Structure 1
Amino acid sequence: MHEMSIAAAVVDQVERAAREQGFTAVATVRLDVGELAGVVPRALDFCFSLVCEGTALEGATLTTRSVRARARCAGCAVEWYAGMPPDLGCPGCGGGTRVELLTGRELRIRGVEWAEGPLPAQG
């Protein structure tokens, strides 16, 4: 389950930022997750709660926002919802050889809500 490694990476990044900025606890982490990223949000939420134990994120809430897959044809510049699985055939000109996927693969931290509280003991 790659959601565990994703959750661990998110917790590491947020905890590092909290320490660098002088925050002692985290209330909420908001993520953008592209529908083509291959992430199961419920599994990620479960893994996140496990990885947070004993960190500045213990008790934090993970909020995910799904990002729909959008594509653009380089030939005619038409943009469309590519769907899942992605349909990369241009609905404008029928082409599909020069299609750019604009969104849908995201996996990024969109925001963090800091909270006050003691840092967990480091062990």
Structure 2
Amino acid sequence: MHEMSVALSIVDQVERAARSQGMPGVREVHLDIGELSGVVPDALGFCFELACAGTVLEGAELTTRSVPGRASCTPCGRTWVTGMPPDMVCAGCGGAATELVAGRELRITEVHWADRNDPPAPTRATHLKES
């Protein structure tokens, strides 16, 4: 599942930024995810939670915004919304000199840092104690 490698990369980038800014933790991370990026938001959310464990992002919330696919025709300038598979023939002029201009994004758009006075994120038990 490539969502885990995406989640690990996001955590790494945000963790480096937190350290460089001297931030004690992260409350929330916002992402734009293009509908044509191949990333499944629900799977990424699950992987993000796992990737955050034991980092300054532990307990952070992931908020995603879907970015629709959009294509543009170079000769006539028409733009249109497209899905998967992308429709790359212009309905206006019938041309094929087109390009995707949106929908492949995977971008961190906001990070909400934890305040120094915030309580630490709750931790999860990593093992069960037998009685």
Task: Work out whether the TM-score is over 0.5.
Answer: yes
Identity within the alignment, %? 63
Q: Does 1:100 align with 2:104?
A: no
Structure 1's consecutive aligned runs of 4 or more residues displaced over 4 angstroms after TM superposition are: none
CA distance in 1, matches of 2:71, 2:30: 24
Deviation at 1:100, TM superposition (A): 1.2
The equivalent residue for 1:22 is 22
The equivalent residue for 1:40 is 40
Q: Specify the code of the residue in structure 1 equivalent to 2:50.
A: L
CA distance in 1, matches of 2:92, 2:108: 34
Deviation at 1:84, TM superposition (A): 2.2
Bigger radius of gyration: 2
Give the alignment's TM-score, normalised by structure 1.
Answer: 0.92
Secondary structure of 1:39 counterpart: coil
CA distance in 2, matches of 1:70, 1:60: 31
The C-alpha deviation readout for 1:86-112, integer Å capped at 9, x for no partner, is 11110110111x101100000010110
RMSD across aligned C-alpha pairs, in angstroms? 1.3
How many residues are treated as equivalent by the alignment?
Answer: 118
Unpaired runs of 5+ residues, structure 2, are 122-131
The equivalent residue for 1:79 is 79
